[in-house]
Amino acid sequence: MKNKFDLIVVGGGLVGLSSAYKIQMSNPKMRILIIEKEKDLAFHQSGRNSGVLHSGLYYKPGSYRAKNCVEGRLEMVEFARKHGVNHDVCGKLVVATNPSEVALLPNLVKRGTQNGLENLRILNSEEIKKIEPFVKGKAAIWVPQTGIIDFRSVAQKIKDLIFEINSNSCVKLNTKILKISKDSENQTVYTNNGNFKCDRLVSCAGLFSDRIAKSDGLNLDFKIVGFRGDYYTLEDEAKHKVKNLIYPVPNPDFPFLGVHFTRMTDGEVECGPNAVFIFKREGYKRFSFDLIDTIDSLNYLGTWKLFLKHWKFGLNEIAKANSKRLFLYHLKKLVPSLKMTDIKVGRSGVRAMALGKDGNVIEDFKIVNNGKNVHVINAPSPAATACLSIGQKVADVFNKIN
């Protein structure tokens, strides 16, 4: 039957593709269909992130997030080298600009070391200048494992490798899931582009992962909410002020890293992002709005608890999103010589965050099985870096219940 598959993978982002790839490797005769609602692969979080190969410095030791980041980064670098994907393990600075931030550096180094990172060093202000001459800081951590990569190219290469293993597997773009039904023999996935039957299903639906999980009968105690991140880019005459990657010391009270500088693989230098709550799950513009998404988020108690807990931070992020001058003010904390004419409006991305009923962000990856199906319901940063490792975890869960 043409529309019958052994497995359907929902989501053509890096996690979905990596899961399909790792399952295909261990089940080469399995016919897999990857369903993606957009016109291209890696269209949302996978292709709109900062393009950074994260090291694993920040994450709680022993968590999936820490383990998969470190293992996944190593695997991703090897993958990029083997398949000619543009990347550069250039290292980064995590810069402390005041005494309270300086005091946080030893614990960050300790955490990174526990996660398996080597050769982390705390630098003084003069040592900072040798790496990033235009950065002003009291101290910094040098993280040699961090790098940059072209994640869209990674996605395309993974797709090609799946087809090399089994030419009968395929990808359907512009295909949006309407509903999923089950009977005693198989499952039917109804879409705007035809209906498809399968024995098994793996969902890696990013911003809509909770809704797909619920449609498969899972009861969740959290909800996915979206935050938009806006970027500026450096003008050509200012690019020399940033050599590679420059990050602030993260505030331990917030689930965001703060605005930072990233040299991209194409030579552009991005500055950002901020973090603004959005009223459309895939809303990349300032006034993007979807009634269903808005009602869904604002009817959820956890959303309001998050607002109450972090209202000052939220207002500051909104102000930053609406003021180039304020955005520049935060950038100048790291690179004081920047001027208004040095930055121009860049792109935006949206990150999916799992929010508990208590208003706390669920920071770790969440992979669950439901009968014969597997759902990746929460895969925050560094999911792009860790995608091959996450894909292996999904394949392990999938094969155990096969």
Which residue ranges of the chain lie beneath pLDDT 50?
none
What does each C-alpha distance from 43 to 11, 22, 93, 175, 302 come to in angstroms?
10, 21, 29, 13, 28
The whole-angstrom separation of Cα 250 and Cα 229 is 16
Round to whole Å and give the CA distance between 8 and 220.
22
Please state the three-class secondary structure of 127-160 as a single string.
HHHHHCCCCCCCEEEEECCCEEECHHHHHHHHHH
Tokens of 357: 């009923």
pLDDT at 402: 62
Please write the tens of the pLDDT for every residue from 66-100: 999 999 999 999 999 999 999 999 999 999 999 99
Distance CA 300, CA 297 (A): 5
Task: For residues 323 and 37, give the distance between their C-alpha atoms in angstroms, rounded to a whole number.
Answer: 34
Structure tokens at 158: 């993974």
pLDDT digits (tens, 9 = 90+) for 100-145: 999 999 999 999 999 999 999 999 999 999 999 999 999 999 999 9
Q: What is the largest CA-CA distance in the chain?
A: 69
Structure token pair of residue 209: 């992962």
SS (H, E, C) 305-340: HHHHHCHHHHHHHHHHHCCHHHHHHHHHCCCCCCCH
Give me the DSSP letters along 218-229. ---SEEEEEEEE
How far does Cα 355 stand from its chain's mean position?
A: 16
Q: Give the closest residue to 176 by CA, choosing from 210, 228, 212, 216.
A: 212
Domain boundaries, the chain: 4-46+152-221+363-400, 92-144, 223-356
C-alpha 149: how far from its chain's center? 13
Question: Of 54, 52, 51, 57, whose CA–CA distance to 122 is shortest?
Answer: 57
- At residue 25, the pLDDT reads 98
Query: How far is 384 from 86, CA to CA, in rounded Å?
Result: 15
Tokens of 294: 């808005």
Q: What is the dihedral of CA 320, 325, 269, 331, to 10 degrees?
A: -70
**In angstroms, how far is CA 251 from the centroid of its own chain?**
19
Cβ pair 178, 184 in contact under 8 A: no
- At the top level of CATH, the class of 4-46+152-221+363-400 is alpha beta
pLDDT value at residue 279: 96
State the burial class of residue 173 (Cβ atoms within 10 Å of its Cβ: 0-12, 13-18, 19+): middle
- pTM of the predicted protein model: 0.95
pLDDT score recorded for residue 258 = 84
Query: How do strand 269-272 and strand 222-234 relate by DSSP bridges?
Result: antiparallel
pLDDT of residue 226: 94
pLDDT of residue 255: 65
CATH number, domain 223-356: 3.30.9.10
